[in-house]
Amino acid sequence: MAKKLTVDNCPLIPMEDQMLVRKIPADKTAGGILLPGQEKGRVAVRGEVVKTGQGRYFEMTGQLKPMTVKEGDVILYLPHATTELGEGFKLTLAEQGIESEEIELLAERNVLAIQKK
């Protein structure tokens, strides 16, 4: 049985203010009907933060602004703001016995909101 991608078994280290996000599927009814408002476009989608970079350095001062978003947070973001990871990454995961899920790369500045726990 394949393992779920976690902070500990992730083969990538996001740089600066980048993060790896596991997309949370849109809500569907028991019969599989997609609920209104979940179609593609400028509709915010939910995702779980799998791994984050250390933060962003200010060029003028050299100071580090740590990430506000933490691993495990559920966030809202626009789907067009992400970078999809290719088949090579999915193959690497499969070779390590890790589920090949819909994982995307996202900059913290593109996070619209963090869902309260």
List the chain domain ranges: 1-25+43-117
The model carries a pTM of 0.78
In the chain, pLDDT over 90 holds for what percent of residues?
38
> In terms of pLDDT, which residue wins out, 91 or 16?
16
CB contact at 8 A, 106 and 77: yes
Find the length of the chain.
Answer: 117
Distance, in Å, from the CA atom of 62 to the CA atom of 26, rounded to the nearest integer, reads 40
Distance, in Å, from the CA atom of 54 to the CA atom of 64, rounded to the nearest integer, reads 8
Q: Which fold has domain 1-25+43-117?
A: 10 Kd Chaperonin, Protein Cpn10; Chain O (2.30.33)
The string of pLDDT tens digits covering residues 64-106 is 999 999 999 999 998 888 888 877 777 778 788 877 678 889 9
